[in-house]
């Protein structure tokens, strides 16, 4: 299996390598493409007084050094390559490279930022999450800390599904990934309490029925779970995480086919997520 | 893993770095002209330099503008040769180092940094002036335009402008093609409108007939005035050489750069002639009222004249100058930052200056240093000088003469063994840069000597030495000091261990 990392020579890049290594741990022919995206030099960004002032020489030497440092971070069992390319848009460049190199997923190192109670991915992550036809995995410092406590191994997957179409697809994806990683899978649905504070029993029952229907006939290591709480935040905290867990989300049904899009509920969940996450695109 | 490391080096060529990216072969003559004009930023240069130049040469303004272009042309030809021979370095610092060795090379780099830092502070100040003027014109409240004279308002606003440009530059955000076209088109149109309105005004302030004598450089009264005028008019063409050094970005490297450079200079000279003659015709060069020779008007001639000449349309001029100087502020930030970066990379400055932001792929420490230096320079000049903009522009002219002159001579010296191999070499590697370089260095020395006089420039002085001299020489001596410090603390560069000099 081959993954492409949107690599930056800082902690984010190192974290992305750790996450990708964990995802590739069980693959026989594990390959990593470390993509360093450079800004495109267009003549209209004229520098005054003129000239490149030796910048491309310095940048190119710097990229070579970054490339060597990056490769040292990759575990020896994984074949890794660095590719540097100048493109107008980072997200577009990553997708192009991923397609060109036949990567099966993109991995990013991220930082959690919040806006109005929602998880706000950075500009690159955001455009990737909106446009990627491939699964995108993202680490956060908290997520990587959890991975490290599990000796950089994925220990369990948790796929989050709602009652929307596409849930079966997300589960199918998670089942295949869990099998490849040889870990158990938990399929979870979040149900928040009613406005008056009482449990929404009707919704819980409906969700439980739906989940059981979805996982029926699957591997016995697939466990359904309905999580409740006063709010999404409470629910996501009460769910109980293993060290080395990976959260899997499906793209929202708002997204055009084969384009990722995180729904508002998922975005709110991501705010408190203590583990790395993967988002899989809508196939239909 | 060693094999992987080797493979890691390979993508550098794939990255297009050595071929300067994907912008290859996309720009035609028109695009190159637009890039050239945007680098020159005529609305900004005119408002900053026209007044001080009139103060030096009076009605010979058109002549001195024409004469100022010649050394610029000659030096630019030498630049083009160096750029072709060493496309990987592309800066005065590396060129001068390879030709003359580390000490002169270091000072060449310092000259460029100093010139760009000074112009940054001036650009920010002009942008701030017109920012308040524009608000005042929009709201009809005259007192707002006066705010810029209050140091407690002016200095913080200028620092905010510099900080904003730094942020944009550090984040690697760039103007797009259509934005550049719009900016340049608007600038040229407003300047032409201004010139037309000057000539068609029924009641000029001090109607001065245009004579042929105005085009005669020999009519300038003294060599002092001539030297000062030349170093100022170098500044107004500064940026033009961009058109000549553009090569593989153009659709036809054999034809486009030359044609575009010629067309750019025709447009620019036409514009400068129209404006300078218009200003002389309308306002005269008297030192009273609206006269272009009035010290009160030196700082920013359009701020004073656009209202009386253009009436309600003056708001367009404010907008043109604000946009032109703000855009230049951001694109100019890149030059000193990259030169500081290159100097750090070759250990001519501490290594930390060679840091590149892994996220934005732009110089980090170097960009912040350049911005801090520009801010510091502005605050000091603003506090010390009665007429900071005037003095900085004159000091800037000096600094450009210094590093351009040095770079031109570096061209001659770098190619010294092959100067007479062909007619091309005789002209472009020997005569043009030699004459251009010598002329500029003579102007530099002359301006240095003259500017010691406390009456020079705006007439500000420190301890009976002219402010311009203190600024210009002070900055150069500071460079010598830092160079000697580096020589003692980090001698590798000075031993020729990081850049090899030629032969």
User: Does the pLDDT value for residue B317 go beyond 90?
Assistant: yes
Residue B268 near residue B237 (C-beta atoms within 8 A): yes
Mean pLDDT value of segment B327-343? 90
Q: What is the dihedral of CA B358, B362, B368, B373, to 10 degrees?
A: 150
Is B4 close to A56, i.e. CB distance below 8 A? no
Q: Taking 50 as the threshold, does the pLDDT of residue B303 lie above it?
A: yes
Asked if the Cβ–Cβ distance from A39 to B20 is below 8 Å, we say: no
Query: Distance (Å) from the C-alpha of residue B480 to the closest C-alpha of chain A?
Result: 21
Domain ranges of chain A: 1-150
pLDDT digits (tens, 9 = 90+) for B366-387: 999 999 999 999 999 888 877 7
Nearest CA in chain B to A124: B359
SS3 A246: strand
Residue B481 — very low, low, confident or very high, per pLDDT cuts 50/70/90?
Answer: very high
> Does B345 sit within 8 Å of A55, measured CB to CB?
no
| Residues, chain A | 284
Chain A residue nearest residue B179, CA to CA: A44
Q: Indicate yes or no: CB of A42 within 8 angstroms of CB of B174.
A: yes
pLDDT at B477 over 90: yes
Q: Which two tokens stand for residue B227?
A: 């030297």
Q: What is the pLDDT of residue A46?
A: 64
CATH architecture for segment(s) A1-150: 3-Layer(aba) Sandwich (3.40)
- B6 pLDDT higher than 90: no
Rounded average pLDDT over B139-146 = 88
- Among A249-253, A259-263, B204-208, B241-245, where is mean pLDDT lowest? A259-263
Residues 6+ apart with CB under 8 A from B75: B241, B404, B405, B407, B408, B432, B433, B436, B437, B440
Mutation for A interface: B17, B25, B115, B365, most A CBs within 10 A: B17
What residue of B is the nearest CA neighbor of A52?
B90
Model pLDDT, residue A3: 96
DSSP state letter for A256: P
Q: Which residues of chain A have pLDDT under 70?
A: 46, 48, 50-51, 112-121, 163, 252-263, 282-284
Question: Which residues in A lie closer than 8 A to residue B7 (C-beta atoms)?
Answer: 81-82
What tokens does A222 get?
């697939």
Residue A112, C-beta contacts closer than 8 angstroms, at least 6 positions apart: A119, A140, A142, A270, A271, A273
DSSP track, A4-65 = EEE--TTHHHHHHHHHHHHHHTT-TT-EEEEEEEEE---TTS--SS-S-TTHHHHHHHHHHH
Identify which of B23, B88, B342 has the shortest CB distance to residue A42.
B23
* Nearest Cα residue in chain A from B28: A43
Contact between chains at B21 and A68 (C-beta distance less than 8 A): no
- B341 and A54 within 8 Å at the Cβ level: the answer is yes
Instruction: Give phi and psi for A277, each to the nearest 5.
Output: -135, 155
What's the mean pLDDT in B243-247?
Answer: 78
Q: Which of B23, B27, B241 sits opposite A50 (nearest CB)?
A: B241
Report, as an integer, the average pLDDT of B175-194. Answer: 91
The answer to whether A87 touches A124, Cβ cutoff 8 Å, is no
Residue from the list B18, B32, B338 with its beta carbon closest to the beta carbon of A53? B338
**Contact list, B183 vs chain A (CB under 8 Å):** none
- Give the distance from residue A153's alpha carbon to the nearest chain B alpha carbon, in angstroms: 22
Q: Which domains does chain B have, with CATH numbers?
A: 26-495 (1.20.1740.10)
Question: B23 to chain A: which residues are within 8 Å by CB?
Answer: 40-43
Q: Which of B2, B6, B12 to mutate to test the interface with A (most CBs of A within 10 A)?
A: B12
Instruction: Tell me which chain B residues have a C-beta less than 8 angstroms from the C-beta of A56.
Output: 17-18, 20, 88
Residue B88 pLDDT level (bands cut at 50, 70, 90): low
């Amino acid at each position: 299996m081959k993954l492409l990392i949107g690599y930056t020579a800082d902690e984010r890049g190192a974290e992305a390598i750790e996450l990708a290594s964990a995802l590739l741990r069980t693959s026989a022919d594990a390959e990593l493409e470390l993509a360093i995206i450079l800004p495109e030099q267009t003549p209209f960004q004229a520098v005054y007084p003129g000239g490149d002032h030796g910048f491309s020489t310095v940048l190119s030497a710097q990229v070579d050094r970054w490339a060597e440092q990056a490769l040292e971070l990759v575990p020896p069992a994984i074949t890794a390559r660095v590719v540097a390319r100048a493109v107008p848009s980072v997200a577009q460049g990553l997708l192009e490279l991923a397609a060109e190199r036949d990567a099966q997923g993109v991995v990013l190192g991220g930082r959690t930022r919040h806006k109005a109670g929602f998880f706000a991915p950075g500009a690159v992550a955001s455009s990737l999450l909106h446009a990627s036809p491939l699964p995108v995995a993202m680490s956060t410092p908290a997520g990587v800390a959890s991975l490290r406590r599990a000796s950089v191994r994925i220990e369990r997957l948790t796929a989050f599904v709602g009652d929307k179409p596409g849930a079966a697809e997300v589960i199918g994806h998670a089942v295949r990934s869990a099998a490849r990683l040889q870990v158990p899978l938990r399929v979870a649905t979040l149900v928040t309490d009613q406005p008056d504070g009482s449990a929404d029993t009707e919704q819980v029952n409906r969700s439980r029925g739906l989940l059981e229907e979805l996982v029926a006939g699957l591997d016995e290591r697939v466990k359904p779970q309905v999580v409740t709480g006063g709010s999404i935040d409470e629910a996501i905290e009460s769910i109980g995480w293993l060290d080395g867990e990976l959260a899997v989300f499906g793209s929202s049904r708002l997204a055009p086919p084969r384009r990722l899009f995180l729904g508002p509920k998922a975005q709110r969940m991501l705010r408190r997520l203590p583990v790395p996450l993967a988002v899989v695109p809508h196939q239909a | 893993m060693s094999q992987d490391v080797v493979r890691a080096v390979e993508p550098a060529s794939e990255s297009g770095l050595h071929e300067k990216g994907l912008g290859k072969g996309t720009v035609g003559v028109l695009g190159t002209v637009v890039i050239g004009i945007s680098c020159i930023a005529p609305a900004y240069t005119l408002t900053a330099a026209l007044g001080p130049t009139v103060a030096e040469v009076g009605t010979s303004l058109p002549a001195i503008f024409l004469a100022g272009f010649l050394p610029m042309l000659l030096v630019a030809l030498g630049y083009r040769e160096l750029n072709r021979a060493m496309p990987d370095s592309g800066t005065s610092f590396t060129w001068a180092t390879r030709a003359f060795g580390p000490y002169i090379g270091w000072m060449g780099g310092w000259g460029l940094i100093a010139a760009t830092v000074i112009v940054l502070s001036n650009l920010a100040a002009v942008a701030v002036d017109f920012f308040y003027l524009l608000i005042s014109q929009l709201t009809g409240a005259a007192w707002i335009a006066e705010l810029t004279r209050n140091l407690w308002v002016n200095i913080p606003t200028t620092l905010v402008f510099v900080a904003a440009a730094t942020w944009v530059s550090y984040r690697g955000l760039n103007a797009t093609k259509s934005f550049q076209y719009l900016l340049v088109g608007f600038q040229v149109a407003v300047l032409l409108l201004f010139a037309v309105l000057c000539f068609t005004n029924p009641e000029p302030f001090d109607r001065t007939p245009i004579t042929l004598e105005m085009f005669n450089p020999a009519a300038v009264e003294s060599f002092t005035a001539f030297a000062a005028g030349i170093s100022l008019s170098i500044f107004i063409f500064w940026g033009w050489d961009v058109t000549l050094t553009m090569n593989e970005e153009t659709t036809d490297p054999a034809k486009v750069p030359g044609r575009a450079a010629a067309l750019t200079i025709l447009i620019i000279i036409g514009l400068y002639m129209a404006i300078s003659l218009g200003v002389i015709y309308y306002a005269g060069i008297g030192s009273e009222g609206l006269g272009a020779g009035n010290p009160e008007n030196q700082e920013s001639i359009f701020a004073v004249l656009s209202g009386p000449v253009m009436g309600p349309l003056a708001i367009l001029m404010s907008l043109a100058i604000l946009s032109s100087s703000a855009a230049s502020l951001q694109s100019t930030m890149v030059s000193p930052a990259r030169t500081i970066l290159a100097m750090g990379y070759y250990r001519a400055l501490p290594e930390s200056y060679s840091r590149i932001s892994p996220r934005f792929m732009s110089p980090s420490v170097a960009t912040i240093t350049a911005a801090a230096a520009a801010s510091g320079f502005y605050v000091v000049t603003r506090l010390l000088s009665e007429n900071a903009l005037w003095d900085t522009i004159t000091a800037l002219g000096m600094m450009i003469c210094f590093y351009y002159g040095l770079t031109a001579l570096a061209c001659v010296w770098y190619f010294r063994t092959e100067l007479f191999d062909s007619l091309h070499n005789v002209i472009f590697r020997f005569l043009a840069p030699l004459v251009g370089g010598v002329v500029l260095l003579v102007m530099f020395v002359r301006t240095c000597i003259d500017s010691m006089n406390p009456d020079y420039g705006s007439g500000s002085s420190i301890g009976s030495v002219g402010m311009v001299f203190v600024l210009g020489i002070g900055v150069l001596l500071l460079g010598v000091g830092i160079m000697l410090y580096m020589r003692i603390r980090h001698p590798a560069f000075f031993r020729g261990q990081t850049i090899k000099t030629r032969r």
